[in-house]
Amino acid sequence: MIKTILLDGYNVMNKFNERSRLSGMSLEKKREYLARYMAAWKARESFRGEICLVFDGADNTVHGYGSDYLFGIRCVYAARDEEADGRILRLIRDA
C-alpha cells in the first residue's frame, strides 16, 4: 500500500509564518516554498509515498479548482467556496 500524507497547506504555511520564514512573500511564492520544503523532506527521509498539500479555494486566485505538481509534490486546490478540510475529507473518502 502506498502511503499518502495529506496536509492543509495554509495551516502549515501559518506555522512557517510564525517563524518569519515566509514573511513578505506572495501567496504563490509561499505555496512554492512549502512544496519545495516538502520535496526536500521527502528526499531526506526517503519517503516513498505521496505528499499532497491541499489549499482552500477562497484564497486561490492563481490556480483553478483541481491539482498540479510543484517540485514533485501534489498540490490540490479546493473549489472557490470550499475549505481545505472538506477537500481533505473527500480525498480520504474517495481513496
Percent of the chain with pLDDT over 90: 49
DSSP letters, 9-56, are HHHHHHHHHHTTSSTT--HHHHHHHHHHHHHHHHHHTT--SEEEEEE-
Mean local confidence (pLDDT), 9-37: 84
Reference 75, options 50, 92, 93, 40; nearest CA is 50
Q: How far apart, in whole angstroms, are the C-alpha atoms of residue 22 and residue 29?
A: 9
Mean local confidence (pLDDT), 4-16: 91
**What is the tens place of the pLDDT at every residue in 40-71?**
999 999 999 999 999 987 555 555 567 889 99
Q: What is the mean pLDDT of the chain?
A: 86
pTM summary value: 0.85
Reference 32, options 8, 59, 13, 56; nearest CA is 13
Mean local confidence (pLDDT), 3-17: 89
